[in-house]
Amino acid sequence: MRLARLALLCALAGALALPNSAGAVPIRADRAFVPGEVIVRFDGDTSASERAKVRSGQRASVEERLLVEDTQVLDLPDGTGALEASRELESQPGVRYAEPNWLAQPQALPNDPLYPSLWAMERIGAPAAWDVSTGSPGTRIAVLDSGLARRHQDLGPNEWQNTGEVAANGLDDDGNGVIDDRFGYDFANGDSDPTDDDGHGSHVAGTIGARGNNGYGVAGVNWQAQLMTLKVCGFAGCPASAQAQGIAYAGRMGARVANMSLGGTGLSTAVRDALNAAPNTLFVVSAGNGGADGVGDDVDASPVYPCAFGQANVICVAASTRSDARAGFSNYGLSTVDLAAPGVEINSTRAETYPVSESFESPTSFASRWITGGIGNDWGLEAYPGAGFTGTQLSDSPAGLCADDPGACYTNNMNAFARHLPRSTEDKDNCLLVYDYAGGHATGDSVSVELSPDGASWTTLRTHTGSLSRRTEAIVLGPSWWGRPGVHLRFRVQTDGAGVGGGGLIDNVTLRCESYVNPFGQLAGTSMASPHVAGVAGLLFSQRPSASVADVRAALLETTDPVAGFAGATVTGGRLSAARALARFAAAPPLPVPPPVAMPLLLPLDAPSEPPEVVQDPPPPPPLGSLAPPTASGPLSLARAFRQILAGFSARDLSARPRLAFRYRSRVRGVVAAQLLGPRGRGGQRPLLGRGAGRFTRPATRAVALRLTRQGIAHFGAGRRRGLVVRVTFRPVRGKTRTATVRVRLR
């Protein structure tokens, strides 16, 4: 059921890369969550019968039991909405939380001949770092992504293997709860083959740990390491359930570092729980590439997860350019994004190639690559986006779709085709055909997908009949289609003499193969930035295996090179420096691990962070401009100070005073951020009405201003004053992030 449902979704969504090389296929984010699935975590003392009763109330079945304790993925009946089911399940006794299965939308010189193209290694000072350490074969670095090109000459030698597991014997030999995980695991599809079918994961892995000084290709930050391949992204994107599984697995199997070049706007409690349950693994995540406009967004205001979770074992990374500017696509955030690293024109390991890559956007290109013909031929381009689609917007091709019936229903007695010119698969293998399809055909009518080695004899790969909503189809091509000088692809419509329908729509056709002839290429994105940081973290752990996550995190964040373009845009205001981080670790003794802070990492916005108290009638408002800035020394103290100030204002008073000052006392380096949030909307999100933040480079007391957003000024100007909360977060360079949330009442 999982594979069938994932096939309904569009191509890889969660990975955060921007292709800038010829023939690359854009990674798209078309769905917020996996339809028909919810993740449920039960209370530990909920019995099996009570859990079954909860599931039966939704007519749901167990799709998968996660490695996160007491957590399951439930399969809902057809037509049941995941959002509605989550709310209903969460209201049941014994359920800790329920949520949709959110999708993250898919970050000494060596003698490797392509090393001169790795400008980012020079920029972060990798050569000086390599004088201290080039990595260790004992350091495990997990890559939670789209998989690994395992036969790549620069990746295979550094691939981690689970020596406690026997491959392909159908047994869980090492008793870790996962069967046949000899070479990692594919949590996206639920099998033991984590081979990369997109190329994104291999590119990320190469930056972290491509074999160095082997006289071939490129060099990673770690010349030697154990790259643990955990495939959490497939054609559907990167489901939260797969992410949680990969995170839990990395923690259990001893990964010191894990890279997650992915992100999405859905807050998954299962993912957050998995991160919390793996405190001895440092997770390096990408900040994200902005929205549909391709312009970076403020993660403080528009959260992207897991970046915005803010745990002490997470580092979030923005992308910088050759000139140390912030890449235009890169997200940022003074209190959520920690540092920057190179993320533009990054050359690394890639084995994927695309003999066919067609989005049908250009009539000229279509005419030059496709031939149409046959009986009753009506194939052409149709600007009809949205036909037959439900619940998802596809913005990658709004101008045209390949269709067998432009503008009208098809006719009877058709046998017509749209055929791509032949494409070579020589020196290529492991080929995969992917396309989006929606259709409406009468009984006896169909659209078939066919291949031919010569354009004369055709093999039918798949036939579509009846009415189908838009979905992504993936067809694995066997060895008979590899290594050929020419492969012909066509779509053929056949109709009988009775009844007609709306026809078929096809889009985003790609024929993807592996090729190890010059298997390297460039990508850009925050996905390419985070593996630089993960790689340096691996060097630090290889230099000092006994180091704690806190030691390595502090070394990375406290040794950045200050960069003007990131001042006020990240916690550190700087860009990664491998040289300074390794030099610090070489000179400094191990730092003591601070005692744990007994405070939740993130409090529910609807829950006060203190016992309920009697709210007195507020005093009359002071004259504008007469308020002395309050001084606070912790998130809860500051949240209460805000509440005290705001209680003296009416909504209209506040709209006339769009800036409030406060003072914050910090004994350590870090960032304090405050947000004034409005009542929840239909989607469950609270609008950002005001925000303020301040960065502390040393212990000090300083004034910070909270300013109303445009939405906040309009909100209070309209007299709205209910459902308000203030959330204050302090994120130190070293130690746990602390967050406090309180309700606010205006006069």
Provide φ and ψ at 742, rounded to 5°.
Answer: -135, 150
Task: State the burial class of residue 480 (Cβ atoms within 10 Å of its Cβ: 0-12, 13-18, 19+).
Answer: exposed
For residue 688, what are its two tokens?
Answer: 């950002």
> Of these residues, 365, 395, 467, 480, which one is catalytic?
365
Neighbours of 79 (CB within 10 A): 7
The structure tokens 């010059």 sit at 518
For residue 140, what are its two tokens?
Answer: 């495990």
Please name the residue ranges forming H helices in 573-697: 578-587, 635-646, 651-655
Distance, in Å, from the CA atom of 436 to the CA atom of 24, rounded to the nearest integer, reads 17
Q: Residues 97, 90: contact at Cβ < 8 Å? A: yes
The DSSP annotation for 115-131 comes to GGG-HHHHHTTHHHHHT
For residue 43, what are its two tokens?
Answer: 């209370």
Mapped onto helix, strand or coil, the DSSP state of residue 273 is helix
Distance, in Å, from the CA atom of 81 to the CA atom of 83, rounded to the nearest integer, reads 6
> Of these residues, 145, 298, 396, 507, which one is catalytic?
145
Residue 326 DSSP symbol: B
For residue 217, what are its two tokens?
Answer: 């290709």
Distance, in Å, from the CA atom of 220 to the CA atom of 209, rounded to the nearest integer, reads 4
The structure tokens 């292709």 sit at 19
614: which residues sit within 8 A by CB, 6+ positions away? none
Residue 264 DSSP symbol: B
> Of these residues, 200, 420, 464, 488, which one is catalytic?
200
Work out whether the CA dihedral 241, 242, 244, 248 comes out positive or negative.
Answer: positive
- CA torsion 510→513→518→519, rounded to 10°? 90
Query: Around 553, how many Cα atoms within 13 Å sit in the side-chain half-sphere?
Result: 32
Residues β-bridged to residue 19: 523
Neighbours of 563 (CB within 10 A): 20
For residue 475, what are its two tokens?
Answer: 């067809």
Q: Is 200 a catalytic residue?
A: yes
624: which residues sit within 8 A by CB, 6+ positions away? 653, 656, 657
Mapped onto helix, strand or coil, the DSSP state of residue 186 is strand
Residues taking part in catalysis: 145, 200, 365
